[in-house]
Chains A and B, each alone.
Chain A
Amino acid sequence: MRRFKVGDRVTVLDKPTLFHTRTQSYCRGRTGVIVALRPDDWVIPEDEAWGRVDGRRLPCYMIRFQQGDLWPDYRGPATDTVELEIFENWLEPAKEAAQ
Chain B
Amino acid sequence: MADEDPRISPVFDLVLRAGASETPKSLASNEVLLHVVHDVGGQPDVPLDLTEHKEAPWETRTHATCECLCWRGHWSSEERRRGENDMGQTLYAGIPYYGRWILVAAKHLLDTGRITPDELSAKIEEVRARYAAQATEVTP
Interface residues of A (CB under 8 A from B): 14, 16-22, 24-26, 45, 48-51, 53, 71
- Whether B34 is near chain A, meaning CB under 8 Å from some CB there, is yes
What is the size, in residues, of chain B's interface with A at 8 Å between Cβ atoms? 19
Note all chain A residues with C-beta closer than 8 A to B18.
16
Given the contacts A21-B39, A25-B42, A16 and B15 also touching, CB distance less than 8 Å: yes
By a CB distance below 8 angstroms, the chain A residues around B23 are none
Determine the chain A residues whose CB is within 8 A of the CB of B36 once the complex forms: 17-21, 25
> Do B33 and A49 have beta carbons less than 8 Å apart?
no
Residue B85, interface by CB 8 Å: yes
CB pairs A–B below 8 angstroms (29 shown)? A16-B15, A16-B18, A16-B19, A16-B34, A17-B35, A17-B36, A18-B33, A18-B34, A19-B36, A19-B86, A20-B81, A20-B85, A21-B39, A22-B78, A22-B81, A24-B39, A24-B41, A25-B35, A25-B42, A45-B78, A48-B76, A48-B78, A48-B79, A49-B78, A49-B79, A49-B82, A51-B75, A51-B76, A53-B76
